[in-house]
Amino acid sequence: MAVKRSILFLSALLLFQAAWAAAPAAEWKAEARRLIASESDHPRLIESLQGRFPLLSDKDKAAASLIIGYCHSRTGNAQAELFWMNKYLGEFRATEVNLAFLPGPDRRKINDFRLSWRRDFPVLWELSLAPEHTSVAYFDPPAELKLRLQASMPCDFQLLARDGALLAKGVLGAGIETVRLPAGSDFFHSASHPFRLLLTPRGAPERTIEKYFVVELEYDVPAEVEFDPLSGTLALKGRAPQPEQETETKVISQRTRFDKGLFKKTVLKDLLIGAAFFVVNATLITSTIDSADTSLFAKSSLYGTRRVFNLAGIGFSLSALSKLPKVFKRERKTEETTRDLPGARETNQALERDLALARSRIGVKLAVREL
């Protein structure tokens, strides 16, 4: 009995869930049928369908996005029309939808609207990297990547780099086209690469559309590694190369030497200049002041001159004394001895092996993201 009650309970629960899921579908279709006939009611229908949209099934979302796009075209909102038709054509791949719940005239108008978009507006159904290029080794990358493209209608394409350089061109048919995307030596040194794709319906260059996308890189680096993808340098955390040799400097002898040349250029020169000031002051200036023929005005002037000469002589003498210690040069003879450090060499060899292993473990995950 307990088992039967459980089965009955689960059956009732499933029926309830099915009824609950069917109720919103029946409601939005009934409301669309009621409001689609009058263009003055299109804004109310748009608001209602956009509010219910997240709760709908994928099949109903495809139909709802087509109806919303149609209503926006009737109200003159081109930007919103583009958004919802891009969703219908791209996300739901222009799937055939059952619009039997709508009045016949409106159903025909929406179908004509859908066909005009499918005829005039190419949508990318596939924009991705080939599976073998979604994860590569950073230090052993491929020379080129394979980009997979598929459009909703036959069209010519041009693939352009960020700087406008033409990378590839060709024709997109009904199937998936593989385009070779050059990957230079520095391609994996940047985390993002932008591209521009031009899609032109066959024989209709005036309907060319632009698509922007980026190839994004995510670096897979071991936890114990410090890695700079821009320069490609790596190091192990807490480990650095050790010096494999040690040098010791030993003093053999030392002596103090008197530099005669420097003494003459510095000390003796200042001493002689200072002595010259003292001699001139003691002889010429003093005798002139003591002479009876010298006027009082001249003597007063000479007193100032004698004071200046005294100061100059003292200054040069002090300068000579300050330079005197520099003429005594201390010379030292040393000897350097170098010895190997075997332990450091073994440590460095182990570090090189671990770095090589770390290099092989650094990978790059690539993905395409539309802008």
CA–CA dist 240, 315 (Å, integer): 58
Within 8 A by CB and 6+ apart from 220, the residues are 362, 363, 364, 365
- Residue type at 265 in one-letter notation: K
- pLDDT tier, 213 (very low <50, low <70, confident <90, very high otherwise): very high
R_g (Cα) of the chain, nearest Å: 47
CA–CA dist 58, 198 (Å, integer): 29
| Residue 25 pLDDT | 61
CA–CA dist 349, 361 (Å, integer): 19
- Phi first, then psi: what are they for 242, rounded to 5°? -105, 145
Provide the residue count of the chain: 371
Question: 120, 201 in Cβ contact below 8 A?
Answer: yes
Residue-wise pLDDT tens digits, 85-121? 888 888 888 888 999 999 999 999 999 999 888 887 8
Nearest CA to 27 among 65, 69, 55, 59? 55
Beta pairing partners, 110: none
Residue-wise pLDDT tens digits, 63-76? 999 999 999 999 99
Mean pLDDT score, 207-228: 90
Selected residue with higher pLDDT from 174 and 141: 141
Mean pLDDT score, 180-191: 86
Mean pLDDT score, 190-198: 92
Tokens found for residue 64? 């709802």
Per-domain boundaries in the chain: 10-120, 124-221+362-370, 250-334
Least confident of 67-71, 112-116, 156-160, 285-289: 285-289
Task: Compute the CA torsion angle 238, 240, 246, 250 (nearest 10 deg).
Answer: -70
Question: 231, 186 in Cβ contact below 8 A?
Answer: no
Q: Quick one: which H or E segment has residue 29?
A: helix 2-35
Q: Positive or negative CA dihedral for 146, 215, 237, 235?
A: positive
Tokens found for residue 149? 């493209």
CATH for 124-221+362-370 (3.40.1350, 1.20.140, 2.60.40, 2.40.160): 2.60.40
| Residue 112 pLDDT | 93
Residue-wise pLDDT tens digits, 317-331? 888 788 888 888 887
Question: 277, 313 in Cβ contact below 8 A?
Answer: yes
Mean pLDDT score, 125-150: 91
pTM exceeding the 0.85 threshold for the entire prediction: no
DSSP tag of 176:
P
Question: 114, 78 in Cβ contact below 8 A?
Answer: no
| Residue 74 pLDDT | 93
Within 8 A by CB and 6+ apart from 362, the residues are 137, 138, 139, 219, 220, 221, 222, 225, 227, 234
DSSP tag of 138:
T
- The answer, yes or no, to whether residue 34 has pLDDT greater than 90, is yes
- The answer, yes or no, to whether residue 16 has pLDDT greater than 50, is no
